[in-house]
Amino acid sequence: MMTTAPTVFVATSDLTGHARGRAVPRDAHDAVLKRGVGWVPADLALTAFGDLAPNVFGSTGDLRLLPDASSGIEIPAAADAPGVLMYLADQVLPDGTRWSCCPRTFARTALADLKDATGLEVVASFEHEFMLPGAAGSAPFSFTRYRSAEPFGSNLVTLLGQIGLEPETWLPEFGADQFEITLRPSDALVAADRAILLKEVVRDLAARHGRRVTFAPLPDPDGSGNGVHVHLSLRDAATGQPVLFAPDQPGRLSTIGGKFAAGMLAHARALVAITAGSPSSYLRLKPHRWSAGGIFLAEHNREALLRICPTSTIGDGVPAEQFNLEYRAADATANPWLVIGALVRAGLHGIQAGYETPRVWPEEVTETELVGVPALPESLSEALAELTADRTVAGWFHPDLRETYLAVKQAELARVAGHDQRELCNRVADVY
Ligand code: GLU
Ligand code: MG
pLDDT of residue 429: 97
**Ligand 2 ion: nearby residues, β-carbon < 5 Å:** 180
The residues, any chain, with a CB within 8 Å of residue 292's CB and separated by 6 or more, are: 285, 303, 304, 305, 328, 329, 376
Residue 350's SS3 state is helix
Closest ligand by atom to 307 CA: 1
| Integer angstrom CA distances of residue 398 from 116, 272, 401, 402, 406 | 20, 18, 5, 6, 12
Instruction: Establish whether residue 178 lines the binding site of ligand 1, counting it when its CB lies within 6 angstroms of any ligand atom.
Output: no
**Ligand 2 centroid distance, CA of 29 (Å):** 38
What pLDDT score was predicted for residue 364?
86
**pLDDT at res. 52:** 96
E strand or H helix at 2:
none
Backbone angles phi, psi at 421, to 5 degrees: -60, -40
Contact criterion met (CB below 8 Å) for 65 and 36: yes
> Ligand 1, closest atom to CA 175?
1
Separation of CA 329 and ligand 1 centre (Å): 10
From the list 228, 356, 384, 243, the residue with the least C-alpha distance to 297 is 356
Note the pLDDT of residue 138.
Answer: 82
Q: Which has the closest alpha carbon to 227: 342, 103, 361, 128?
A: 128
pTM over 0.75: yes
Ligand closest to the CA atom of residue 328: 1
For the CA of 178, the closest atom of ligand 1 is 1
Ligand 1 atom nearest the C-alpha of 129 is 1
What are the extents of the domains in the chain? 105-431
The contacts of residue 331 (CB under 8 Å, 6+ apart) are 215, 217, 225, 226, 227, 228, 275, 276, 277, 278, 281, 284
Distance, CA 290 to ligand 1 centroid (Å)? 5
Architecture of domain 105-431: 2-Layer Sandwich (3.30)
**Shortest CA distance to 408 belongs to which of 167, 48, 80, 60?**
48
- Judge contact between 162 and 156, C-beta under 8 A: no
- pLDDT per residue as tens digits for the range 296-327: 999 998 999 999 999 999 999 999 999 999 99
Q: Are strands 294-299 and 178-183 parallel, antiparallel or unpaired?
A: unpaired
20 lines ligand 1 (CB under 6 A): no
CA dist 214 and 230 (Å) reads 19
Residues 233 and 326: their CA atoms lie apart, in Å, by: 9
CA of 223 to the centre of ligand 2 (A): 14
Question: For residue 92, what pLDDT is reported?
Answer: 98
When the pLDDT of each residue in the chain is averaged and rounded to a whole number, the result is 96
Cα distances from 291 to residues 37, 228, 317, 349, in angstroms, run: 39, 9, 28, 25
Residues of the chain with pLDDT under 70: 1-2, 136
Distance 180 CA to ligand 2 centre (A): 6
Distance between Cα 215 and ligand 2 center (Å)? 12
Q: Is 284 in the pocket of ligand 1 (CB under 6 A)?
A: yes
What is the reported pLDDT for 413? 98
User: 250-267: b or e for each residue (b if 16 or more CB lie within 10 Å)?
Assistant: bbbbbebbbbbbbbbbbb
The preferred substitution site among 229, 231, 303, 331 for testing ligand 1, maximizing ligand atoms within 8 Å of CB, is 229
Query: 90: Cβ below 6 Å to ligand 1?
Result: no
In angstroms and rounded to an integer, the radius of gyration of the C-alpha atoms of the chain is 21
Question: Is 290 a pocket residue for ligand 1 (Cβ < 6 Å)?
Answer: yes
Cα 225 to ligand 1 centroid, rounded to whole Å: 7
How far does the centroid of ligand 1 lie from the alpha carbon of residue 227, in Å? 5
Ligand 1 pocket mutation, candidates 291, 305, 306, 376, criterion most atoms within 8 A of CB: 291
In the prediction, which pLDDT does 4 show? 83
In this structure, what is the dihedral angle of CA atoms 227, 232, 378, 46, given to the nearest 10 degrees?
Answer: -70
62 SS3 class? coil
